[in-house]
Amino acid sequence: MVSFILRRILVSVLILLAASFIMYMLTAYSSDPLADLRQSSSLNKEKLIQNLIQTLQLNVPPPIRWFLWLGGAAKCLIPLANACDLGSTISNAQVVDILPQAIQSTVQLVTGALVLAIMLGLALGIITALRQYSGLDNVVTFTSFFLFSLPSFLVAVLLKEFVAIGFNNYLEKPEIAIWVIIIIAVVLGLIVQSIIGGDGRRRLIVGGATTVLSAIVLYAISLSGWLLHPGLGPIGIFILAAGIGVGTTALIAGLRNRRALITAGINVVVAMVAYFSLQGLFDVSSSGTLVILGIVTVIVGLVTGFLMGGYDRGQSIRVGAITAALSGGLVLLDRFMQSWTTYFSDTNGRPLATVGFQTPNLGGDVWVSGIDTFTHFLLPTVALLLISFASYTRYARAGMLETMGQDYVRTARAKGLPERTVVIRHAFRNMLIPITTLVAFDVGALLGGAIITERIFGIPGMGSLFYAGLLRGDLNPVMGYFIVIAGMAILFNFLADLAYAALDPRVRVR
Amino acid sequence: MSDNNPVTLSTETVLADSKPPESQGRLILKRFLANKVAVGSLILILVIIGFAISAIGLGPIPGWWKYNYTGLNDQVNGGTPTLSILPKWLGGTGFQVGEHPWGQDRIGKDYFAMTMRGVQNSVLVMVIIGLMATVIGVFVGAIAGYFRGVVDAILMRITDVFIVIPALVIGSVVGHAVGGFGAATLAVMLGFFTWMGIARLVRGEFLSLREREFVEAARVAGASDARIIFRHILPNALGTVIVAATLIMASAILLETALSYLGFGIRPPDVSLGNLISSNQSAFQTRPWLFWWPAFFIVSLALLVNFVGDGLRDAFDPRHRRFKLRRMQEERPSLAEDEQVRAGDDDDIIDAGAK
């Protein structure tokens, strides 16, 4: 194992070196950093050009300059020495200084998109696999083909030019037309009945109930102007949290497991108590307080699950933690919604942002700035998410069908396990193994795709750094970008290999 | 069938009745043609290509459309599309094409001609990248998989070097360097950076095929390495190659349009579907038709090519459908048997069954 890891690291470093050389040569020979200056009309043009040649060492031929650059970059590997040197940009800023801020924006964007894509993609893939050849399956299959064929810049432009602006215009008079309500409600009903499955009667009842219920909710939203003054209120939180508790128990432990159900119930009650008692604390909270509260919430969930225990303690603990986290999230969501009106007026009634990663000069507490981050990252994240979402759905569906056909699943069924246990414990967990490889590839694709999304939404991340650098012939930021991207791609591939070996006992590393 | 010896008799009957066995190629073709979506997509692609080429012509040959993609024209009706398909009885003006059916851009260029030029360029880039990637990928993969050992290690590490750089990043750098030289040059250069997937696939196929008896037989008969690679193994790996090449073509369209959108691909005055969108982006609120037509063609081309690729995969590799077969076996035994007999011609299915 150790020799495998060492060999892999050695090979990875060599690959990174070779790739960076190719990248350096291509960029150096394809662009001219002096082009801007040559066309300038300033009097000390010659002197400026000489200065730039000095700072960027342009008189050294690129292959040799690569070694100089590499020498500086190699210093980054010395821990704690702080001697990192990735060269400077044309405007004489150190790449090392501008890189961390850019990495932060991009990582925020890519992480959100990746996590959401994995969760939604897996959920949809599993559902369509379990309801193979249903109407929903066919629609999702076609949609994922469509998403495969949708370039990310098209989605981003569409979201920015039509959705963002359209939604902001819509908020001036937020009424939902009757026919829109009917269409949405009917579509929801159709989706839910397809997920539920079973015989015609059951489908009809569930689908019909969903349709009616969602129509009523939508009508109430439209009538009360909820989009301008959103909030859940204690009743809303209670209903939703109870739903989460029952749903989590049903998925993880089954409703027959009374102890797990009681665990979920306790956590819902705790969330309600927290809702009433914490409002005062929320008003003076900082993001640090929220992190502490979040940790406390999960611990409460774990502890209640542990204490309730029962014959399968692990199940109760999982149910407790998930219910606690989700219903705690509801309480937070409600508090964010309370600040929506403030944010709405701060942005002159156009909350959905199209440019940048924060509203300039926006004061306000953690809630308002939280909403601000949300409105700025929502659309870029969606645009990025759609790139990889379709492939997760396809792979999850294929993987689930594959595992559901395995002998151990038949054995599990034969020994009388409920279908829920078979799906969640036997099939689902084994289906996840090959997905690890997909995640590794996907990180690279998402980081590349971020170039486009960041450019369209004006987010100053690594993609923007690369784009601007390449346009100006600015070699060092391009290389700084590259070394981070390629490093991450290699790292994730390596991690995927290790995870694969750890998860699948059939795989042996040599 | 007689009662005393049914088995022999039925075999004889079958032998007497059966036509000569169908070749692998014909079977694949039949399976592909049975896939309505894939065949429909292929026809639609050809129709779109034919339409785009005949409308504005190719190179010096003029097409049937009266405008070209560079000429400036007077603004007709503020540049709004003159195409109307809504019949009179629905409140429209009946079918009419008008001066500029898909409208004009800000400076009065005919948008129909520009979009058609964009389609031509996208298809050109798609085909060239597909060919380049296939040729290089097959070459590298075949040599690595056939000779194994040191050759394999070196070639695969080189492949890894290229894989590390995301396609869009290397594409931007390459496009920045050669984008000004036209679509064909751009495509050829991009082809040098898109072959890695095919190389890996072909290597995998070769690694397993080279152990088979027919390769041994060829070697004993004295065939040279080149002959074994190209005449014996490669035809057996053709399915994988063709499917992968099709799927690469679909992503090539997306890559080209994305690069052109960023300004690193095909550049004005030449037209690409991507740069149509980027150069008119600021006008979408007032002139949405400038967005819809290029967007429609990008998505349609990529979608149709993906459908064809999927159909080819099903045709070449019936294993891909084994879940369907299993379900059919449960539900309709007679049909499943029929399926198995048909699939029995293809020895791959036996491997899949044994798994």
**Residue A390, pLDDT score:** 87
- In this prediction, residue A213 has a pLDDT band, given cuts at 50, 70 and 90, of very high
- DSSP per-residue string spanning B266-299: S-TTS--HHHHHHHTGGGTTT-THHHHHHHHHHH
Q: Which residues of A touch B172 (CB under 8 A)?
A: 451, 466-467, 470
Report the C-alpha gap between A155 and A76 in whole angstroms: 38
The β-bridge partners of A258 are none
Report the C-alpha gap between A281 and A321 in whole angstroms: 23
Q: Is the peptide bond before B269 cis (omega within 30 degrees of 0)?
A: yes
Contact status, residue A232 vs residue A336, Cβ threshold 8 Å: no
A89-119, pLDDT tens digit by residue?
777 777 888 888 888 888 888 899 999 999 9
Q: Which of A15, A455, A490 sits opposite B262 (nearest CB)?
A: A455
Helix (H) or strand (E) holding A41: none
**Residue B203, pLDDT score:** 92
Q: Which of B173, B258, B303 sits opposite A27 (nearest CB)?
A: B173
Q: Which residues of B touch A478 (CB under 8 A)?
A: 173
Range from A327-336, A449-458, B313-322 carrying the lowest mean pLDDT: B313-322
**Residue A83, pLDDT score:** 66
- In this prediction, residue B2 has a pLDDT band, given cuts at 50, 70 and 90, of very low
B160-196, pLDDT tens digit by residue?
888 888 888 888 888 888 877 888 888 998 999 889 9
According to DSSP H, which parts of A309-406 are helical?
A: 313-338, 340-346, 366-404
Contact status, residue A390 vs residue A148, Cβ threshold 8 Å: yes
Question: Among residues of chain A, what percentage have pLDDT more than 70?
Answer: 98
- Please judge whether A11 and B168 are an interchain contact, meaning their C-beta atoms are less than 8 angstroms apart: no
- Please judge whether B165 and A157 are an interchain contact, meaning their C-beta atoms are less than 8 angstroms apart: no
**Residue B349, pLDDT score:** 33
Q: Which of B164, B262, B306 sits opposite A145 (nearest CB)?
A: B306
**Which carries the bigger pLDDT value, residue B99 or residue B41?**
B41
Segment B88-96 mean pLDDT: 63
Contact status, residue A352 vs residue A167, Cβ threshold 8 Å: yes
φ and ψ of B191, to 5 deg: -60, -30
- Closest Cα of chain A to B24: distance in Å? 27
The β-bridge partners of A88 are A94
| E-strand stretches of chain B | none
- Closest Cα of chain A to B295: distance in Å? 7
**Residue A435, pLDDT score:** 87
- Please judge whether A30 and B176 are an interchain contact, meaning their C-beta atoms are less than 8 angstroms apart: yes
Whether chain B has a CB inside 8 Å of the CB on A14: the answer is yes
Report the C-alpha gap between A505 and A498 in whole angstroms: 12
Q: Which of A15, A31, A478 sits opposite B161 (nearest CB)?
A: A15
- Please judge whether B285 and A161 are an interchain contact, meaning their C-beta atoms are less than 8 angstroms apart: yes
For chain A, positions 22-81, list CB contacts with chain B under 8 A: 22-23, 26-27, 29-31
**Which carries the bigger pLDDT value, residue B342 or residue A231?**
A231
Q: Is the pLDDT of residue A207 over 50?
A: yes
Q: Is the pLDDT of residue A306 over 60?
A: yes
Report the C-alpha gap between B82 and B97 in whole angstroms: 6
B57-84, pLDDT tens digit by residue?
777 777 777 777 777 776 766 667 766 6
**Residue B94, pLDDT score:** 61
Q: Which residues of B touch A125 (CB under 8 A)?
A: none
Whether chain A has a CB inside 8 Å of the CB on B165: the answer is yes
- Closest Cα of chain A to B217: distance in Å? 33
- Cα dihedral across residues A344, A374, A270, A251: positive or negative: positive
Whether chain B has a CB inside 8 Å of the CB on A245: the answer is no
Contact status, residue A248 vs residue A322, Cβ threshold 8 Å: yes
Helix (H) or strand (E) holding B104: none
On average, the pLDDT of chain A sits at 85
Whether chain B has a CB inside 8 Å of the CB on A148: the answer is yes
Question: Among residues of chain B, what percentage have pLDDT more than 90?
Answer: 20
Segment A126-135 mean pLDDT: 86
Report the C-alpha gap between B166 and B159 in whole angstroms: 13
Q: Is the pLDDT of residue B93 over 60?
A: yes
What residue in A sits closest to B162 (Cα-Cα)?
A19
The β-bridge partners of A94 are A88
Q: Give the HSE-up count for residue B131: Cα atoms under 13 Å, Cβ half-sphere.
A: 9
Q: Which residues of A touch B175 (CB under 8 A)?
A: none
A402-450, pLDDT tens digit by residue?
898 889 999 999 999 888 889 988 899 888 888 888 888 788 788 888 8
Q: Is the pLDDT of residue A75 over 90?
A: no
**Measuring CA to CA, which residue among A205, A180, A184, A181 is closest to residue A193?**
A205
Helix (H) or strand (E) holding B76: none
Report the C-alpha gap between B126 and B256 in whole angstroms: 8
- Please judge whether A31 and B176 are an interchain contact, meaning their C-beta atoms are less than 8 angstroms apart: yes
Radius of gyration (C-alpha) of chain A in whole angstroms: 27
- Please judge whether B284 and A161 are an interchain contact, meaning their C-beta atoms are less than 8 angstroms apart: yes
The CA angle B177-A23-A37, to the nearest 5 degrees, is 55
Q: Which of B157, B166, B258 sits opposite A151 (nearest CB)?
A: B258
Structure tokens of A13? 């470093």
For chain B, positions 215-254, list CB contacts with chain A under 8 A: 250, 254
**Residue A443, pLDDT score:** 84
Q: Is the pLDDT of residue A200 over 90?
A: no
**Which carries the bigger pLDDT value, residue A367 or residue B101?**
A367
**Residue A123, pLDDT score:** 92
Whether chain B has a CB inside 8 Å of the CB on A449: the answer is yes
Q: Is the pLDDT of residue B11 over 60?
A: no
- In this prediction, residue B85 has a pLDDT band, given cuts at 50, 70 and 90, of low
- Residue identified by tokens 């020799």 is A3
The β-bridge partners of B328 are none
Burial of residue B96 (CB within 10 Å: 0-12, 13-18, 19+) is exposed
User: What's the DSSP call for residue A406?
Assistant: S
User: What's the DSSP call for residue A312?
Assistant: -
Distance of CA B8 to the CA centre of its chain: 48
- In this prediction, residue B92 has a pLDDT band, given cuts at 50, 70 and 90, of low
Contact status, residue A468 vs residue B189, Cβ threshold 8 Å: no
Q: Is the pLDDT of residue B98 over 70?
A: no
Whether chain B has a CB inside 8 Å of the CB on A500: the answer is no
Q: Which residues of A touch B161 (CB under 8 A)?
A: 15, 18-19, 22
Most confidently modeled of A308-322, B185-199, B266-280?
Answer: B185-199
What residue in A sits closest to B295 (Cα-Cα)?
A154
Structure tokens of B83? 């195409």
- Cα dihedral across residues A349, A351, A356, A358: positive or negative: positive
- Please judge whether B262 and A467 are an interchain contact, meaning their C-beta atoms are less than 8 angstroms apart: yes
**Residue B17, pLDDT score:** 58
Q: Is the pLDDT of residue B279 over 70?
A: yes
B210-262, pLDDT tens digit by residue?
889 999 999 999 999 999 999 999 988 888 898 889 889 988 988 888 888 88
**Which carries the bigger pLDDT value, residue A400 or residue A85?**
A400
A229-248, pLDDT tens digit by residue?
888 888 889 999 999 999 99
Report the C-alpha gap between A167 and A175 in whole angstroms: 12
Segment B200-214 mean pLDDT: 90
